[in-house]
Amino acid sequence: MAAALACAAQSGISTAEPVVRPGIDVLLSDSMALVDGRRVGLVTNQTGIDSRGVSDVERLRAAGVNLVALYSPEHGFRGSAEPGASVASTTDSATGLPIYSLYGRTASPTDSMLRGVDVMLVDLQDAGARYYTYIATATEVMRAAVRRHMPVIILDRPNPIGGAMAGNVLDTAYRSFVGRLPVPMRHGLTMGEMARFANDEMEIGADLQVVPVAGWQRDEYYDETGLPFVKPSPNLPTLESLIHYPGTCLFEGTNLSVGRGSDHPFEQIGAPWLDAGRVLAQVRMAAPRGVTFDSVQFTPHAPGDGKYGDTLLAGIRLHVTDRAAYDPVQTAVLLLATIRDVSPEFKISAPHFDRLAGTSALRLGLESGLGATQLTSGWLQERKAFRERVGKYLIY
């Protein structure tokens, strides 16, 4: 054993136990009774890895878990499909296991997909923003499990952008696959906590258990955990993009690009007609905290960008300078209001924008000329009420 440790040290491989351990590590070290002797289905993708970067599939099979089926969310099992693209079910070439797509012909596991499964594991890295569809997939799995009288186990992961909250709380009249729960735009919860909240809020009634992350503190960002970073989807390639995403995603409901198909998706916005200089002159006067801006040009490549693919755009690039001070949603609303004021070409796509905003009030306020402060009036109180409501579901 000493020789093996010496070789590992010489090779640069860490032999120390990671400080932060995701749910898959905790399951295999402390909670194997949950899966022993059971036929297991696993909902996961490229983010389902342990603290050393080894896939859940490999770890579970090596531990003797009877893994019988795999299920994938939006972007597919490998995480490479374009946003919104229908993904077909297939077979995993490495294991021969079926991979049933839950973002194709159906969003919910059918009875035939669940045949021969005794328990469902869910291990998906959330992005920390309400718009992200993985929690919607998890709730569909929970509903199907109730129908089949089987338990669901969430293998939890850190919220990559910590526990801060921002934006409004979704009005359930606007519930959709990109807004399944009445949570803030930046919700501050983990996948396990959201599943616990959803199980009660949506009256699902699943036999739900959460295997928690060990060693994670709610105020920690992903780069403070020591865990390997895997982009949760093609257009969220960095932690910086994840931090901006709760705000810049709102531009998906407008005629501006969010940089999909560029080097900095969700870190920049742009359009051929944008007068970035005029916009930035006003935005800098408002001096939003924790962020700076650059006037840039970028070309988002098709098919990643569905608005201006392969077109040179005038753009604005955002840079986080102080994570604790930065409010990505407030900043995005300021940009929206300013662009509206200086660009007659600016347009909002009402149905999609309202789905993302979780209300029609933000769109109507923008259309009526309200400023950023007026547009977000009352959001702080919404978040305070939400914090009280969600407290009993928190784990960390």
Q: Which position has the token pair 């499909």?
A: 81
Other residues' Cβ atoms within 10 Å of the Cβ of residue 10: 8
CA distance 123 to 139: 13
Query: What whole-number distance in Å separates Cα of residue 158 and Cα of residue 128?
Result: 9
| Per-residue model confidence (pLDDT) at position 16 | 59
Tell which residue, 208, 214, 178, has the closest CA to residue 196.
208
**pLDDT value at position 302?**
85
- pLDDT, residue 3, reads 35
Instruction: Copy the structure tokens of residue 206.
Output: 């699943």
* Residues of the chain scoring pLDDT < 50: 1-15
- pLDDT for the residue 6: 33
The pLDDT of residue 17: 65
Rg (C-alpha) for the chain, rounded Å, is 22
Instruction: Give the separation between CA 59 and CA 198, rounded to whole angstroms.
Output: 28
Site of tokens 């293998």 = 155
Yes or no: say if 113 and 80 are a contact pair by the CB < 8 Å rule: no
Q: Which residue has the tokens 């019988």?
A: 68
pLDDT value of residue 9 = 36
pLDDT at 101: 98
Quote the pLDDT of residue 312.
97
CA distance 279 to 7: 57
396 contact partners, CB below 8 Å, separation of at least 6: 163, 190, 193, 212, 213, 216, 217, 218
Strand partners, 208: 152
User: In sequence order, what are the residues at sequence separation of 6 or more whose Cβ sits closer than 8 angstroms to the Cβ of residue 66?
Assistant: 35, 37, 38, 39, 40
